[in-house]
């Protein structure tokens, strides 16, 4: 089948396509981590800027590890389709914002040079939680990470996102340019501050003057990003090909909803973000906390319980009345721990989230969300648990979600099927999870990169986790969700 590309794009039926002149677009953005989420989220905003005639905002994408995305996109001249799916409805939009994709390990100097170009004003990142090389519980740089160790020793060929940023800022300073704005778009609490801390700590090791310059002139806005973007599957590519007549191996599928809240703090030029639906604000944290603890917290609970129970997709989990009741119970516990922004009505936010989870056209795999739990648990579940326990409030559904994560570390589901636990700490968690429930819970709670010491030392919480883990092992996740006595009645308010 013919591949999507400049030559075929003009002829596509049923596809909304851009009208700006791609040859006149400049590269104002470098994006690190050009996966599906970037293509369905930030790139769509840059695309709107281009469509509105501001041609400064083309994107140079970069992959920090594998050539996969470059090999999907560049044979298509960087073009790809965004498929927005909602029940029976489907819309296809062709996106032209990505001009090129570099694979950092192939030529890190080329990427650093592009980041140091006077045209580059913003560097955005979606490198996942683990890409920041920060301890998930404390946010401190993990200096014994092998890639970071290379960047700590030399910035000649950076391997990490913080390394690339420091090297590029060093080059900009040497060239007499201003810093770019470095904007994390990952689901981390205080993502801007975390990125800034990682960059400053690394810069300090190399050059205290550079560090002071970044501290004074750099900008690392906090952001909250939200759009559900399930991994593209071969059947999605085949279905789109049947519809539009060309093959698009870089397509992404997503939901209608999209939200980007950005702290209004930039080092230099930026697109007119507010005109393209971005919420600019001084306080991102309240948005971020609500999104992490409600959307992502529920997602992780669904991922582990659903994954163990053999439920493949999020929409199937919330189609079960017990599944929906579990999500509601988790939200009942998490909601009072939030300080939501005045514009956010939690009741309608919850209703909207449940409807988004129920979108049966997305096929969002529980297995996809289960990935990297060690990096996700603190901000999604543990923060809310800690805040409740400190106030003497009980936890049930939140604890069940953590117990399900513990059971997941065994690498075997309730039907006895084994799977690889996809997580940078998998070796450590697997060793602990293989033990009898009480020791397993103690061993996992002792991993201080995940669990804050105060929570690990809470005996009553450990006892509750032990009972829940035992229940999950004996009865299975499905029975635990359905026969909700173990977690609903435990210490219920
Ligand atoms: C999900 C998120 O995979 C996951 O961990 O919880 O990717 C989620 O879909 C997005 O944060 C939604 O904005």
Same domain, 248 and 313: no
Locate 65 and state its tokens.
Answer: 């590890």
Within this chain, do residues 251 and 103 fall inside the same structural domain, yes or no?
Answer: yes
Distance 231 CA to ligand 1 centre (A): 11
Q: Which of 281, 299, 326 is the last residue of a domain?
A: 281
Which atom of ligand 1 lies at the shortest distance from residue 300's CA? 6
* Centroid of ligand 1 to alpha carbon of 49 (angstroms): 25
CA of 67 to the centre of ligand 1 (A): 23
Q: Would the pLDDT of 212 be above 80?
A: yes
Express each pLDDT in 333-344 by its tens digit: 999 999 999 999
* Residues whose CB falls within 8 Å of the CB of residue 205, separated by 6 or more in sequence, listed in order: 152
Q: Is the pLDDT of residue 107 over 90?
A: yes
* Residue nearest atom 3 of ligand 1, based on CA coordinates: 369
Query: Residues lining ligand 1, judged by CB closer than 6 Å?
Result: 187, 226-228, 295-296, 299, 368-369, 376
313-328 average pLDDT score:
97
The helix, strand and coil proportions of the chain, stated in percent and rounded to the nearest 5, come to 50, 15, 35
**Is 1 within the bounds of a domain?**
no
pTM (2 d.p.): 0.97
Looking at the structure, tell me whether residues 219 and 73 fall in a common domain. Answer: yes
Specify the pLDDT at position 416.
97
Query: What is the per-residue pLDDT for 492?
Result: 46
Residues 182, 304 share a domain: no
Q: Please check the confidence at residue 197 and state whether its pLDDT lies above 80.
A: yes
Question: 143 C-alpha vs ligand 1 centroid, how far in Å?
Answer: 27
CA of residue 96 to ligand 1 center, whole Å? 25
The lowest-confidence range among 5-14, 27-36, 289-298, 374-383 is 5-14
Q: Which of 260, 281, 302 is the last residue of a domain?
A: 281
**Has residue 106 got a pLDDT over 80?**
yes
What is the CATH number for 373?
1.10.1040.10
Q: Is 466 helix (H, G, I), strand (E, B) or coil?
A: helix
Span 460-487, pLDDT tens digits = 999 999 999 999 999 999 999 998 778 8
- Mean pLDDT across 130-156: 94
Q: Please give the pLDDT value at position 162.
A: 98
Tell whether 328 and 261 lie within a shared domain. no
Could you give the number of structural domains in the chain? Answer: 2
Do residues 276 and 319 share a domain? no
423: left (phi over 0), alpha (psi -120 to 50) or beta: beta
Angle between helices 321-334 and 383-390 (to 10 degrees): 60
Note whether 19 and 56 are same-domain residues: yes
Q: Is the dihedral of CA 414, 420, 421, 427 positive or negative?
A: positive
The answer to whether position 61 is within a domain reads yes
Atom 5 of ligand 1: nearest residue by CA position: 369
Question: Confidence band (pLDDT; 50, 70, 90) for 11?
Answer: confident
Looking at 238, 253, 281, the residue that finishes a domain is: 281
102 falls within a domain: yes
Supply the pLDDT for residue 306.
98
Q: Which of 228, 254, 375 to mutate to test the pocket of ligand 1 (most atoms within 8 A of CB)?
A: 228
Q: Is residue 25 part of a domain?
A: yes
CA distance 57 to 390: 46
Establish if 419 belongs to a structural domain: yes
Please check the confidence at residue 122 and state whether its pLDDT lies above 90. Answer: yes
Across the range 1-29, mean pLDDT stands at: 94
> Is there a contact between 88 and 361 (Cβ–Cβ < 8 Å)?
yes
Residue 19 lies in a domain: yes
* Whole-number Å distance between alpha carbons of 119 and 58: 10
Of the residues 299, 300, 314, which should be mutated to test ligand 1's pocket, given the most ligand atoms within 8 Å of the CB? 299
Tell me: do 327 and 189 sit in the same domain: no
Q: Is residue 355 part of a domain?
A: yes
Mutation test residue for ligand 1: of 349, 369, 378, the one with most atoms within 8 Å of CB: 369
User: Comparing C-alpha atoms, which of 284, 189, 323, 252 is closest to residue 4?
Assistant: 252
* 3-state secondary structure (DSSP) of residue 106: helix
**Residue 444 and residue 403 share a domain:** yes
* Separation between Cα atoms, residue 168 and residue 264, nearest integer Å: 23
Please tell me whether residues 195 and 296 are part of one structural domain. no
Per-residue pLDDT of 395-442, as tens digits, reads 999 999 999 999 999 999 999 999 999 999 999 999 999 999 999 999
Closest residue by Cα to atom 6, ligand 1, is 296
Q: Which atom of ligand 1 is nearest to the CA of 372?
A: 5
Residues 269 and 130 placed together within one structural domain of the fold: yes
Cα dist from 22 to 53, 78, 102, whole Å:
11, 11, 19
Q: Which of 8-17, 69-78, 189-198, 438-447 has the lowest mean pLDDT?
A: 8-17
Q: Which residue has the higher pLDDT, 485 or 79?
A: 79
Same domain, 254 and 325: no
What is the mean pLDDT of the segment spanning 342-363? 97
| Averaged confidence pLDDT in the chain | 96
Q: Give the pLDDT of residue 493.
A: 43
Mutation choice for ligand 1 from 40, 42, 296, 313, CB with most ligand atoms inside 8 A: 296
Backbone angles phi, psi at 428, to 5 degrees: -70, -45
Distance 39 CA to ligand 1 centre (A): 14
Strand partners, 254: 84
> Is 227 a member of any domain?
yes
**What CATH code is carried by the domain that includes residue 87?**
3.40.50.720
Helix (H, G, I), strand (E, B) or coil at 201: helix
User: How much is the pLDDT for 489?
Assistant: 53
Q: From 129, 187, 232, give the residue whose CB has the most ligand 1 atoms within 8 Å, as the site to mutate.
A: 187
Which protein residue has the closest C-alpha to ligand 1 atom 11? Answer: 226
Please state the atom number of ligand 1 nearest to the C-alpha of residue 229.
9
CA of 307 to the centre of ligand 1 (A): 16
417, with CB counted inside 10 A (0-12, 13-18, 19+), is exposed
**Counts for the chain of helices (H) and strands (E), in that order:** 24, 11
Q: What percent of the chain has pLDDT over 90?
A: 95
Q: What is the pLDDT of residues 218-236, one digit of tens each?
A: 999 999 999 999 999 999 9
DSSP line for 72-97: HHGGGTT-EEEEEEETTEEEEEEE--
User: 172 lies in which domain range?
Assistant: 6-281
Question: Does residue 15 surpass a pLDDT of 60?
Answer: yes
Atom of ligand 1 nearest to the CA of 299: 6
Distance between CA atoms of residues 65 and 5, nearest Å: 25
Distance 372 CA to ligand 1 centre (A): 12
């Amino acid at each position: 089948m013919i591949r999507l590309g400049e030559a075929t794009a003009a002829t596509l039926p049923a596809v909304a396509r851009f009208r700006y002149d791609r040859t006149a677009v400049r590269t104002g953005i470098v994006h690190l981590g050009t996966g599906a989420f970037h293509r369905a989220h930030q790139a769509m905003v840059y695309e709107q800027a281009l469509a509105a005639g501001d041609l400064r905002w083309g994107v140079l994408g970069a992959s920090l590890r594998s050539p996969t995305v470059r090999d999907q996109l560049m044979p298509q001249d960087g073009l790809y389709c965004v498929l927005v799916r909602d029940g029976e409805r489907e819309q296809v939009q062709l996106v032209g914002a990505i001009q090129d994709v570099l694979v950092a390990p192939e030529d890190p100097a080329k990427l650093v040079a592009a980041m140091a170009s006077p045209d580059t004003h913003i560097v955005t990142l979606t490198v996942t939680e683990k890409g920041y090389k920060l301890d998930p519980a404390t946010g401190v740089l993990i200096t014994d990470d092998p890639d970071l160790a290379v960047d700590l020793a030399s910035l000649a060929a950076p391997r990490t996102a913080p390394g690339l940023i420091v090297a590029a800022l060093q080059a900009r300073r040497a060239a007499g340019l201003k810093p770019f704005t470095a904007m994390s778009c990952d689901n981390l609490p205080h993502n801007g501050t975390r990125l800034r801390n990682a960059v400053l700590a690394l810069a300090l090791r190399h050059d205290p003057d550079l560090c002071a310059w970044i501290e004074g002139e750099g900008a690392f806005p906090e952001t909250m990003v939200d759009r559900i973007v399930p991994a593209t599957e071969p059947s999605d590519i085949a279905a789109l090909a049947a519809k539009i007549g060309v093959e698009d191996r870089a397509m992404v599928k997503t939901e209608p909803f999209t939200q980007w809240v950005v702290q209004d703090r930039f080092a230099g030029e930026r697109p007119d973000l507010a005109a393209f639906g971005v919420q600019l604000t001084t306080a991102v944290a309240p948005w971020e906390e609500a999104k992490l603890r409600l959307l992502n917290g529920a997602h992780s609970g669904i991922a582990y319980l659903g994954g163990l129970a053999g439920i493949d997709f999020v929409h199937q989990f919330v189609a079960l009345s017990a599944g929906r009741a579990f999500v509601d119970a988790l939200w009942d516990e998490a909601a009072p721990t939030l300080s939501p922004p005045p514009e956010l009505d939690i009741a309608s936010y919850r209703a909207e989230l449940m409807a988004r989870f129920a979108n049966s056209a997305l096929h969002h795999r529980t297995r996809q969300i289960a990935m990297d739990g060690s990096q996700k648990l603190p901000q999604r579940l543990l923060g809310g648990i800690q805040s409740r326990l400190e106030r003497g409030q009980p936890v049930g559904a939140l604890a069940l979600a953590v117990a399900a994560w513990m059971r997941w570390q065994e690498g075997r589901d309730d039907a006895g099927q084994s799977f690889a636990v996809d997580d940078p700490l998998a070796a450590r968690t697997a060793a602990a999870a293989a033990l009898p429930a009480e020791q397993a819970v103690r061993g996992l709670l002792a991993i201080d990169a995940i669990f804050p010491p105060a929570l690990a030392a809470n005996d009553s919480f450990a006892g509750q986790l032990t009972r829940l883990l035992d229940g999950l092992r004996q009865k299975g996740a499905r029975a635990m969700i359905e026969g909700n006595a173990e977690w609903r009645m435990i210490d219920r308010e």
